[in-house]
Every structure is written in structure tokens, then in C-alpha cells.
Amino acid sequence: MEQVIARTEDATMLEDLQKIAKKNGTPVLVIDHEKIRQNYREFKENLPRAQAYYAVKANSDPAIVNTLYRTGASFDVASFPEFMIVYENIKNLPPKERQDFIWDKIIYANTIKQIETLHEIDPYKPLLTYDNIDELKKIKEHCPHAGLVLRIRVPNTGSMVELSSKFGAHPGEAVDLILEAFKVGLVVEGLSFHVGSQCNNFENYIQALQLSASIFKESESRGHKIKILDIGGGFPVKYHNKVKSFKTLARKLNSEIERLFPKDIEILAEPGRFMVANAGTLVTKIIGKAVRDGKTCYYLDDGVYHTFSGIVFDHCQYHVKSFKDGDKKVCAVFGPTCDAFDTISIAEELPELEIGDLLYAENIGAYSIASSTYFNGFPPAKVVHINR
């Protein structure tokens, strides 16, 4: 059971982080649930028509899922274990309400699913994505009670993580795949797309909406009206000053959705990073120090096989900061494992530090600890949840 700590209003965040590290040891990932709630409110205020389906893969910690569930979010899951994390949050509801919750609050947005998974989720009448004829046949045979959402391929130019090469039907094949689903006795409820994670090119969304509107119209002209538009994720997080604002994107989305789609269309979105990235702060400790080729090197008790895994899997650079002041110089920062690949940064600016000193990394709540391993036997960081 992870610890929940109430923050005192008069303490600074840096003081809190050091106290948490002293009490719990390091590495420790601190999740601020009030920040998560603020992010959810910001999302809803700027995109009022869209129901937020939190992408559980961004950070599947059950406490985060619980906070978002209580705040009003729905959920995008990519595996049966993620499905069960969400289900555990509503298991005490009456059976009928649980069934309705699954239908209204969860979308299984991984277009490729194991046969065993399809058997397991079929009783819940889930909403599933697909993007090819073979997956459609598999769903028909093993999960015939599902509602379907067809995912199309759209431009991902300028996104930090590109997804279109792996997922999405070609727009020219979309209506045929919709008609084929109805032909075999399944129902296509909606259309979805994803412009790529951490999208800083808002034109991706505009092109995706225009493609979707054309498919909506053609499908209806051929006898099948689609009711749901899932605009996916990719909503930008302010990791640095060059990232465009979410408010600017939301204005564009609202305008284009209003122009292209009727008011009775249900709008879904799948924010993951947006909800949790800036809610996570890592505190880590210097366990070693050396000078190599004239450069100071610090070795931490966390690295790319653990909370800094986003450097590899998410193409994201997290800067480590010191709790101490002093003149800064360029240094290298490494993780604890016996692998040179475990490199956090070769050009970090830090003051002179010693073994045992603490560092922290902000905006590390998404796609970080979710990918932690036990490589070399080092366990993932502890997780502490705070509420303000």
C-alpha cells in the first residue's frame, strides 16, 4: 500500500521533496494528485465537447486511475491488465452499473489484441478499435459482443513519438472496412485517429479531422451513420518553452469540429501525458562521483532502465536539478547499472556536488516508471502520492 502524504500549505515543494526522500529513501517518484485534477479541469474547460479517456499506459498506477475516475474521466486501455486496473476501481458497484461503466467509460484502443484477451473481455461488451480485415475477423470470432471503432492513419509529422507507421487503416480503405464490419454482423460505433504523442504540429489534427469528416459522410451515404469521433491523444505538455500551448490547440480543434461535424456526434479524446507528466517529480541520490577526461561524472540510484526510461522509449530528455546552489558546470549523469547505455545526460549543468547529495527531475510522471525494469536487480523507484 503506497503512502499518502498531506502537504502543508506553508512548506515549499522543494522542502517537501527532501522530506519525502529522507523518510522514504531514494529513488522516489512523487505524484501530486491535485496537479492531476488541475490538468483534468484544464482539459475539460478548453475542450468541453470531448470526454477525456485517460490513456492508462502513460502511468497505470491504480491511485492515479482512482483520482481520475473520481474526477470524471473515462479510460483508454491497451491490455487486459490495464482493463482490470480500471475495473478494480469500480468493482464494488452493482453488476448492472459495472456493465454500463465498461461500455460508457472504457475503450480498448490497442488495434491488435490477443485471442485470449478477446475471450476475457467479450462478456463486458467492450468498445474496441481495429484497423485491418484480419483483426475484424478475429473480433467477430472471439469477441462478437464488442462495439467497434475504426482507427485511421493520419499525418504524424512533428510529433515526438510517431505512431502512424504501426497503426491505422489507410483513409481510402476506411469505408470498405466499416461496411465489412456491418456485413459480418458487427457494429461500427466510431472512427478514431492519433496524431502522434506530444504533437507540436497542430496541422496534424486539422488534416485528421478533415479526413475523418470525409469518411463520416461517405459511410452515411452508403447506409451507415457513425456516432463517435475519437480524436486520440498527443496533446502537448510544456516540457520547455518551445512547446505550443494546449489552449491554442483547443481553439483550433473546437472550431474545426464545429465546422465539420454535426452536434449529435460524441467526441472522445485520449489524453495520457497531458494528465500526468507534470504531476510527477523524481528525487534521486548521487551514489558515485568520478572525473573522466576532465568532466565530472555523477552516478545516480535511478537511470534509463527505471524512471528515466522515457529518454529511450519516449524520446524525452529530463533535466536533473540540484537542491544546492552554486556555480554550475557541464557534467555527465549516469544511472546505477553496469551498462554504458544507462546514460541520463552527457551535458547537464550542475553545481559541485558530493556523494549522498540529492537531485530531482520534474515533469517525469508520464511514460517513465511505467517502463521500469529490474535490470541488474535494481528495483523501480518507490512511489509516494501527495494531496494538497
State the average pLDDT for the chain.
90
Considering only CA atoms, give the Rg of the chain: 22
- Please state whether the predicted TM-score (pTM) of the whole model is above 0.95: no
1: confidence class by pLDDT, cuts 50, 70, 90: very low
The C-alpha cell at 28 is 522516489
Q: How confident is the model at residue 165, as a pLDDT?
A: 61
Average pLDDT over residues 249-258: 95
> N- to C-terminal Cα distance for the chain?
20
Average pLDDT over residues 41-46: 96
For 347-356, write each residue's pLDDT tens digit: 999 999 999 9
The C-alpha cell at 181 is 464490419
Write the secondary structure of the chain as one string of H (helix), E (strand) and C (coil): CCCEEECCCCCCHHHHHHHHHHHHCCCEEEEEHHHHHHHHHHHHHHCCCEEEEEEHHHCCCHHHHHHHHHHCCEEEECCHHHHHHHHHCCCCCCHHHHHHHHHHHEEECCCCCCHHHHHHHHHHCCEEEECCHHHHHHHHHHCCCCEEEEEECCCCCCEEECCCCCCCECHHHHHHHHHHHHHCCCEEEEEECCCCEEECCCHHHHHHHHHHHHHHHHHHHCCCCCCEEECCCCCCCCCCCCCCCHHHHHHHHHHHHHHHCCCCCEEEECCCHHHHHHHEEEEEEEEEEEEECCEEEEEECCCCCCHHHHHHHCCCCCCEEECCCCCCEEEEEECCCCCCCCEEEEEEEECCCCCCCEEEECCCCCCCHHHCCCHHHCCCCEEEEEEC
For 80-94, write each residue's pLDDT tens digit: 999 999 988 777 666
345 neighbors 332 (Cβ within 8 angstroms)? yes
The C-alpha cell at 368 is 517513465
Average pLDDT over residues 196-213: 85
Provide CATH 2.40.37.10 ranges for the chain: 4-30+278-387
Residue 198 scores a pLDDT above 50: yes
From CA 368, how far away is CA 370, in angstroms rounded? 5
6: confidence class by pLDDT, cuts 50, 70, 90: very low
Average pLDDT over residues 273-299: 96
Cα torsion through 59, 270, 159, 373, rounded to 10: 20
Q: How confident is the model at residue 9, as a pLDDT?
A: 44
204 neighbors 154 (Cβ within 8 angstroms)? yes
Provide CATH 3.20.20.10 ranges for the chain: 34-276
The listed range with the strongest mean pLDDT (161-175, 195-209, 248-262) is 248-262
Q: Rounded to a whole number, what is the largest CA-CA distance in the chain?
A: 71
Residue 7 scores a pLDDT above 60: no
Residue 292 scores a pLDDT above 90: yes
For 153-192, write each residue's pLDDT tens digit: 886 665 555 456 667 899 999 999 999 999 999 999 999 9
| CATH for 34-276, options being 3.60.70.12, 3.90.380.10, 3.20.20.70, 3.20.20.10 | 3.20.20.10
Identify whether 297 is a catalytic site residue: no
| CATH for 4-30+278-387, options being 2.40.37.10, 2.30.30.100, 3.30.360.10, 3.30.70.270 | 2.40.37.10
